[in-house]
Structure 1
Amino acid sequence: MKFIQVAITFAFASLLFGCTNLKEVQDFAGQSAQLSGYTELTTRFRDTYYREQPYISGDADRLAQENDLRRKAAYQDLLKIHQTISVYMQTLATLAGDKSFDLTPGIDSVASGIKAHPEFGIDKTQVDALSGLAKIAAKWATSSYQQRAVREFIKEGNEPLQTALIGMEKLIGYYQKTNDNEWKTINGLLELELSFTDQSEDKLLVTLARAHLQAKASEYQLADKKYLEARKGIQTIAQGHGLLVENLDKLSRQEIKDSLRQFAKDIKAINDHINSM
């Protein structure tokens, strides 16, 4: 009888220890699923023409309208990139013990697939990776074998996740370049007009123009900071998941748990920073 009691106690302790080991995985995945900034920056990218239209005309305006149509046509697909990665991370958090995520709507929303947009750096490689990621999330979402599921899920998902994150980071870089070009156009026009304005006769106009230029400069500088933070967040997620896949049989080691805890803190700090801007 005593042997049975000891065996039961040991088994129960092992179960608790196993769940504790996944707490850091859960926290890292939960923070990663909430990565801030991407939707806002994608919407800003879509609305480029709305902001630049007052400052352009002629051939420049016609070209800008063509680009506007392409951006709007790609918008929903660009959003799905983040949604797919978020669903993957929500699934990982749930498998690791977090019951706060309802996965069904997320999986349904990305199941329809994403089209390639090579002009924005999203080619067949990224599309296939995102499709694979969605399928992996759907496959494991209802698993009841927690420890094995987490390890197999991470192992199976790492390659498409890393590919998807590379594509996502490239997109943020493309958004940032578009933002820089947009600012150069607006700043160039305003500075040119101000240089030909008689400041002694049009003092009020010059003052208003300078104030407008200052406000626009602040807007574009703020957007630039968000691009940098978003890219930092994506890189941190990639590094954290890379640590997981390299240490699937060592998740109970203190140094791995400490590293995962730090990754989760870093992502939360990035999210908080973006949201505070």
Structure 2
Amino acid sequence: MHRAKRFALLFALFAIVSTSMGCANLGAVRSFAATSSQLTGYREVTERYVGSADRQLANLPAGKLYDPARKELQVLKQSSEQQKDSLLKLHDTATGYMSALAELAGEDAYSLNADIDKVSGAITAAPELGIGAEDVAAYGKIAKLVSSWALAAKQARDVKAMLKTYGDDMDRLLGAMQRAARSYEGVLQQEKASADSIQMLRLTVWKQPKSGDGLLDEARRDAIVAMSNNSYAGIAEQQAKALQAAAAASQGLAQVRSGHAAMLKDADRLKSKQLQALLKQAVADMKTVRAQLDAL
């Protein structure tokens, strides 16, 4: 009778803890945060943006006709080099936030590790009171379960606290990175347009016949044009890839921001099926973007 009451009390305690705390299913949160920490190529695109002015200056003809463009590019070069440190710090800080969130939501972040084995030794048998070895063993099993649920609840609270404390600032940071990535696209598109126009001018000039001692015969002109085309083909390919990478980075950041906003909105219900499904889809989308970037 006494034993039955003791077991009833233990299982009642377990039921109370289970109901009030709940098991934090943070797998989707962890996966989303870990995937987001890569931030889908933002650093690489930033480097490409910063180097745009140098590449355009190197491709610019020496004639005075291009002096205004040269001055504009020198201004862009100076400003982008000054911005580089801040732009990369945005990336590093956002990556650090997502990495910390992933670690906080980690499977082993709140593990009892070796201490769990000490639980069963927390009480000893007292035969004179009717508490035997089997009772001690039962206590150890239930105590482990109760401890695990309690730690899961603490983990959920801590993840929620991180989101609520820093989530709004993180959203602003991700928004700033989105705007920067879109600006990168504009600069890289300008770089491509500049290279296209300069190539057209070169081909037009080189194809013009000359008179007098400086006459270029047709074969020599053809050779110069072919060399120019071959050189430009490589440049054009790199520019196209850079534009694709900038667009992918912008798209990836939009996915990160959308997923993070959903977590922030549902911080009190991190294990809801709707949020889990949204985060899983976001992870799949980000992996697709990452694969596209890796293929460039």
Of 221, 239, 243, the residue aligned with 1:224 is 243
**What is the letter of the counterpart of residue 23 of structure 1?**
G
**Partners of 2:19 and 2:32 in 1: CA distance:** 22
The one-letter amino acid of 1:27's match is: S
What letter is aligned with 1:32?
S
Aligned AA (2:49):
F
Which residue among 2, 7, 17 is the counterpart of 2:7? 2
2:265 matched residue in structure 1: 246
Q: Which residue is equivalent to 1:116?
A: none
Matched residue of 2:39: which SS? Answer: coil
Structure 1 residue 239: deviation in Å? 1.0
Q: 2:35 aligns with which of 13, 18, 31?
A: 31
Determine which of 169, 173, 187 is the counterpart of 2:182: 173
Contact 1:85 1:161 (8 Å CA) reproduced: yes
Amino acid at match of 2:226: T
Alpha-carbon separation, structure 1, partners of 2:44 and 2:156: 35
Q: Whose relative contact order is higher, 1 or 2, with alpha carbons under 8 Å and at least 6 apart?
A: 2
RMSD (Å) for aligned C-alpha atoms: 2.4
Alignment pair present for 1:190 and 2:199? yes
Within 2, Cα distance between the matches of 1:252 and 1:36? 26
**Partners of 1:37 and 1:275 within 8 A in 2:** no
Q: Distance in 1 between matches of 2:271 and 2:45?
A: 37
Q: Deviations over 1:208-229 (max 9, x none)?
A: 1112222222111111111111
Change (3 A) 1:16 1:205: farther
Amino acid at match of 1:177: G
* Deviation readout 1:198-246 (Å, 9 max, x if unpaired): 3834111111111222222211111111111111111111111111122
Q: Is the 8 A contact 1:39 1:79 kept in 2?
A: yes
From 22, 34, 44, the equivalent of 2:26 is 22
Q: Distance in 2 between matches of 1:251 and 1:145?
A: 13
Which of 49, 65, 81 is the matching residue for 2:53? 49
Determine the structure 2 residue equivalent to 1:104: none
The answer for the alignment partner of 2:70 in structure 1 is 61
Amino acid across the alignment from 2:269: K
- Contact 2:40 2:248 (8 Å CA) reproduced: no
Partner amino acid for 1:75? K
Alpha-carbon deviation of 1:17? 6.1
Deviation at 1:151, TM superposition (A): 0.9
Larger radius of gyration: 2
Query: Is the contact between residue 36 and residue 275 of structure 1 (CA under 8 Å) also seen in structure 2?
Result: no
SS in 2 for 1:37: helix
Written as runs of structure 1 = structure 2, the 5 A alignment for 1:69-84 is: 69-84=78-93
CA distance in 1 between counterparts of 2:15 and 2:277 reads 25
CA shift at 1:16, angstroms? 10
Is 1:155–1:245's contact at 8 Å kept on the other side of the alignment?
Answer: yes
2:56 corresponds to which letter in structure 1?
E
* Distance in 2, Cα, partners of 1:40 & 1:151: 31
C-alpha separation in 1, matches of 2:205 and 2:42: 40
TM-score between both structures, scaled by the size of structure 2: 0.72
The worse-fitting range, judged by mean Cα deviation, of 173-182 and 198-207 is 198-207
How many Å apart are 1:45 and its aligned residue?
Answer: 1.3
